[in-house]
Amino acid sequence: MATVYVFVIVGKGDQLLYEADLSSAGKRDDSPHLDQFILHAALDMVDAQVFHTQQMYLKLVDKFNEFFVSGYVTAGHIKLMLLHKHRNEDNIKNFFQEVHDLYIRTLLNPFYEVNRPIYSSGFDKRVKQAGKKYLT
């Protein structure tokens, strides 16, 4: 039985920039694609919460059955969202901060335009490492 963690980065205009399944090893028992539905529905909640706080880390943004969605919004309104089953605020906050750092490094690449999907395998590898470090 795997602990489910699904991570997405959504840009301005609700464009998907990056998606990763950071669940621990094992079989997942949720229906396929349900995680994408939940994260998509949570986008509106993130946009609403953004105006209530000055912080980047918006703790718990949405809840669906037994799934929680946590959000983190950068200054340029890029949303980092994580779908999870267990609440783990500190670790999730650290994970978001580390991915934010990685995202800024992606931005430093002059061939990467803002709001485009991130295809870099180095970025992918590092996000998965961060996921292992903080989430499982």
Partner 1 sequence: MVDETVTLPQPPAEVAESPFILLCNEWIRYTSEAFMARQQQQQQQQTDSKSNPGAAADGTTDGRPVAAGAGEGSSSSSSPSSLSSADVDGVMVALEEMGFMLGGKIVERLTASRSRLQDEKDIVKFICKDLWNYLFHKQADRLQTNRRGGYVIQDNTLRWLRHMPPMPDTAPPHKRPMAPVSVICGIIRGALTHLGLSASVSASVAEPPCCSFSIKIPS
Contact residues toward partner 1 (CB under 8 A) are 50-51, 54-56, 73-78, 100-101, 103-104, 107-108, 110-111, 113-114
Residue 29 or 51: the one with the smaller Cβ distance to partner 1 is: 51
Write the CA distances from 50 to 47, 73, 106, 108, 112, integer angstroms.
Answer: 5, 8, 24, 26, 26
The tokens for 125 are 């590898």
Torsion sign, CA atoms 116, 83, 95, 25:
negative
Nearest distance, CB of residue 70 and partner 1, angstroms: 17
Find the angle CA(14)-CA(82)-CA(97) to the nearest 5 degrees: 95
Residue 19 or 98: the one with the smaller Cβ distance to partner 1 is: 98
Nearest distance, CB of residue 103 and partner 1, angstroms: 8
Residue 36 or 106: the one with the smaller Cβ distance to partner 1 is: 106
Residue 29 or 113: the one with the smaller Cβ distance to partner 1 is: 113
Amino acid of residue 84 = H
